[in-house]
Amino acid sequence: MSGDYAVLLKKRAHSMLRLAERLLGEGEYDLAAFNAEYAAQLYLKALLYRVAGEEWRGHGVRALLGALATVLESSGFREEAEKVVDYVRRGRRALAELEEAHTRAVYGVFEYDERQAAALVSLAEEVIKLLKGVEEGVIGD
């Protein structure tokens, strides 16, 4: 696989985030939550690919953030790894809710309301902002 894979994943992540924002505005709160989670997940996988040079399976946002911290640490990017670890520590509960949206929005027994969906969309934006900062520190773009 070429470096184009990471570019493709980031493109899809941004598309999912835009879709989540649009769905939020249209009152489709479950689908907004689902797409917010997917946006964060895809951007994480893109960065993991860029740093580790391999594809990552699974879709747990917290597990992917943990893998990223581990890969960064083992690659000598201690400061960036600590940023990720600190972010996860501070946002553990919110990240768990974002992660749960992957299945709850589709199979759950309740519907997300506007406030809940907006919080998840905002969190996905925050995760992607963090990842962009880490990416700049590691790769420089």
Q: What is the pLDDT of residues 40-91, one digit of tens each?
A: 999 999 999 999 988 888 889 999 999 999 999 999 999 999 999 999 999 9
Q: Is pLDDT of 134 > 60?
A: yes
- The answer for residues whose C-beta is within 8 angstroms of residue 11's C-beta and 6 or more apart is none
Alpha carbon 127 to chain centroid distance?
6
Q: What is the pLDDT of residue 56?
A: 86
Q: What is the pLDDT of residue 3?
A: 64
Q: What is the pLDDT of residue 58?
A: 81
Q: Which domains does the chain have, with CATH numbers?
A: 4-138 (1.20.120.330)
Give the Cα separation of 41 and 46 in Å (integer): 9
Q: What is the pLDDT of residues 1-53, one digit of tens each?
A: 456 999 999 999 999 999 999 999 999 999 999 999 999 999 999 999 999 98
In this prediction, residues 126-135 reach a mean pLDDT of: 98
